[in-house]
Chains A and B, each alone.
Chain A
Amino acid sequence: AQTVTQSQPEMSVQEAETVTLSCTYDTSESDYYLFWYKQPPSRQMILVIRQEAYKQQNATENRFSVNFQKAAKSFSLKISDSQLGDAAMYFCAYRTLPSGNTPLVFGKGTRLSVIA
C-alpha cells in the first residue's frame, strides 16, 4: 500500500523568508502524481502544486516550488518570500494515474506558521 509521511508536524517561518516542508512516500509504481495541498483554518483545501513522476523537471508555481527526488521517494515543498497568508496546514498527497482506481493518499500534514 502506498503511504505518505510528513515528518514535521509544525514549522514556522519569518515573513519574507524561505521555508521547506518535507514529504516522503512509499510506492512500487513507476508513474504517479504527487501534490501539495494547502488547508487554511476553517477553509477548503486547495491545490498548491502538482508533480508528475515521469517529469524530471521540478514543478514551480510562483513562490512555490518542489524538489522531487524520485529515487529517494522524496517530494519537498519550498515556499519563498513567505507571506502571512501562507499560514495553513500543508498536506502532501500521492495518487496513481487517473485511469487507476487509487484515490489520493495524504500525509498527516505540517502546520505552517508565518511570523510577522
Chain B
Amino acid sequence: DTGVSQDPRHKITKRGQNVTFRCDPISEHNRLYWYRQTLGQGPEFLTYFQNEAQLEKSRLLSDRFSAERPKGSFSTLEIQRTEQGDSAMYLCASSRAGERENTIYFGEGSWLTVV
C-alpha cells in the first residue's frame, strides 16, 4: 500500500495558462475523489469517479475544469485558462466502493498558485 500519490506537489502558473494534476490512487481502490481546499477552509468536493465513470460533479467544477480517469486507475484534473481564484490545494482521495466501512484516504495535495 503506497498511499495516494499526487503530482506535481506545487505548481506556479501565470493567469490564463492551463495546468494538469495527476493522481494515482491506492491500487485496489475503485473510487477516486477530487477536492479543493483554500487557506483556512475545509476541503470542498469537486468530483468523483467509480472506476472510469465520473459519477458526480459539484457546481464548483466550472467549464474550465475537466477530470478524467480513462482506465479506471490514475486520474487527471485539468484547469484551463487559470484565474487567480483557482489558487488552492487540490486534494485527491480514494476508497473502495461496495463496502459499508470504506475509509477515504487522501493524498498530500497539489498546491496551485496562479500569478
Q: Which residues of A contact B (CB under 8 A)?
A: 4, 37, 43-47, 50, 52, 91, 93, 97-99, 101, 103-109
Q: Which residues of B contact A (CB under 8 A)?
A: 3-4, 33, 35, 40-45, 48, 55-56, 91, 93, 95, 97-109
Contact between chains at A104 and B97 (CB < 8 Å): no
Q: Is the interface of A mostly helix, strand, loop or mixed?
A: loop
Name A98's contact: one of B42, B48, B98, B108 (CB within 8 Å): B98
Q: Is the interface of B mostly helix, strand, loop or mixed?
A: loop
Q: Can you list 22 A-B pairs with a CB-CB distance of less than 8 A?
A: A4-B42, A44-B3, A44-B108, A45-B43, A45-B91, A45-B106, A47-B104, A91-B42, A93-B42, A97-B100, A98-B95, A98-B97, A98-B98, A98-B99, A98-B100, A98-B101, A103-B45, A103-B48, A104-B43, A106-B42, A106-B44, A107-B42
Chain B residues whose CB sits within 8 angstroms of the CB of A103 once the complex forms:
33, 45, 48, 56
Smallest Cβ-Cβ distance to B45: which chain A residue: A103
Smallest Cβ-Cβ distance to A98: which chain B residue: B102
Min CB–CB distance A30 → chain B (angstroms)? 15
Smallest Cβ-Cβ distance to B107: which chain A residue: A44
Chain A residues whose CB sits within 8 angstroms of the CB of B91 once the complex forms:
45
Min CB–CB distance B97 → chain A (angstroms)? 7
Which one of A44, A93, A107 has the greatest number of beta carbons of chain B within 10 Å?
A44
Contact between chains at A44 and B106 (CB < 8 Å): yes
Tell me the bound Cα distance from A16 to B103 in angstroms.
29
Tell me the bound Cα distance from A50 to B41 in angstroms.
21
Contact between chains at A104 and B107 (CB < 8 Å): no
Tell me whether A91 and B56 are in contact in the complex, defined as CB-CB below 8 angstroms, given that A46-B106, A104-B104 are known contacts: no
